[in-house]
Structure 1
Amino acid sequence: MKWFDPDRGTGLISQDGTGPDVRAESRAIRENGPRLRPGDRVLFDITHDSAGLRADNIHRPEDARSQGRPGQHSDGQTRQ
């Protein structure tokens, strides 16, 4: 998580040098536990809409392990 403003409900996720930053919206966060903060590692799916790249199904890697399914992008690759 690069940054997130809970008041506005938007932020950005950095793809660890594998691509451009991805827009994050509060409705896409599948949060289980404390609020996401800058520097948190997250998994997410990428959707391309009219405004560019958007993250969906945003969650921490621990959440994916506890549910037995990895976070994957629409291209089939896992991103953190």
Structure 2
Amino acid sequence: MKTITINVSEPVYRDFQRYAKTRDRTASELIREAMEEFRARRIARATTLADLSPVSVGRVLKPMQVDDDLLEEMLNDAGA
């Protein structure tokens, strides 16, 4: 584990110390946990199509049939 030095305001650090004491943990543990959560949510997140929420793009133009060839339709529209 890498040791680092960070500067935080006294009130923020006191809040971490108080909260850590109520959970029988150290402020360092809480700060490490907060940094890891930030990293997971903002830095290391690999977005895939499965992660994206569906988006409404309007109404259905026509119901899809079992024998519809969507690839052909997309390729034909691409050249238009």
TM range (shorter): under 0.3
* Structure with greater Cα Rg: 2
TM score, norm. by length of structure 2: 0.22
TM score, norm. by length of structure 1: 0.22
Higher helix share: 2
